[in-house]
Structure 1
């Protein structure tokens, strides 16, 4: 009887395979966009990344910054294509001196969040002075043959973000993308001749928008002071 049961169990396993799919993988828009890109000339992001990507370490953080401590860029400190230094954690100077040279950030590095659910796929250009590194959730890309800022905008573009969503894998809330995934991201080759110029236009427009947003925020703060005066 035991032998018969074993045979039946094996049969069930063989005849009823399971396959876990993330429903976003089958998004009609993402599938259609990929087919459109592949129907013409295209390039993979890895074509401009000749060296391996570098992931940061998970350092022992200080409770508070010190005069000579080094900022560590994390997922929270990368927001809307900018680096918020106030959101960086800090590591001691002694620990930073032990950090591998490849993990010390250089001007022009492209930083990219690689895991953490909704935090996946946030790119930024490193343009700070001083000693910085990243934690284990942020990867360092050093493109060649493409302007680093242009790579940031490709990753942040709707087509780039769509590919992040398709590449995610792992348990809910703990998803990640791999270096191999990012290297296989595809974009139309027709972008390349005009990419830098378009990025410069977007940068200029975003600068204007940022100033307008700042002015609106100040107006809103001033409006709230009217209520504060009533309760003072």
Structure 2
């Protein structure tokens, strides 16, 4: 069984059992039914049996979130604000950024994204767990739903892919808490994420392979979209032409 399949969510059981000892082993003490899912126990057993690291050990600086700016619609110039909608497919969509006249970057501009920062969406239900590497020029900010991670000891691009991988998404799903539609993951949760230790050579191979696969998949998606559009054109060609 592939590693990604091993931790896939199974249909919810009719009865889930979890002991108080299991609850006590968690830093959150959550009495949450989803914590009894078998995939989480399988992940724990697997990760504890291999050489791994805590993400918090790679984040010596505090995780910071942006301040919520006052947006002004219709502006062409100002500070571009990276929102959850702007982080898509491991990249930042500049077209989806909003514009603010000014932004509170905090003391020493700690909330201003810098080159090689990892941007991570941390609340908003299905928006949680999207990651991207900040590599843009110009004046940018993040809003209050996006956290800035400044890793040390791990290549930022590798961290982006680890967070986006099934191993990262599993841990987001496990840590997410809150009312429906208002869920979030906390800095404490993120710092306790665990990932396998990879040699430099293995990490390079893994990144090369997944980037090539994603580029191929994107090309196939574009091909499929073009073919579908062609099909609709052919379909409409059978109708009378509009004047």
TM-score where L is the length of structure 1:
0.83
1:204 lines up with 2:212 in the alignment: yes
Q: Which runs of 5+ in 1 are unaligned?
A: 1-18
Contact 1:24–1:165 at 8 Å: present in 2 too?
A: no
Distance in structure 2 (CA, Å) of the matches to 1:83 and 1:149: 13
Residue correspondence of structure 1 range 1-232 to structure 2 within 5 A: 21-66=31-76, 68-92=77-101, 95-96=102-103, 98-100=104-106, 101-189=109-197, 191-193=198-200, 194-229=202-237, 230-231=239-240, 232=242
Contact 1:114–1:120 at 8 Å: present in 2 too?
A: yes
Measured on the aligned residues, the alpha-carbon RMSD in Å equals 1.8
Q: Which runs of 5+ in 2 are unaligned?
A: 1-28
- Cα offset for 1:144? 1.1
- Cα offset for 1:192? 4.1
- For the pair shown, the structure with the greater C-alpha radius of gyration is 1
Contact 1:25–1:165 at 8 Å: present in 2 too?
A: no
The residue matched to 1:103 in structure 2 has which SS?
Answer: coil
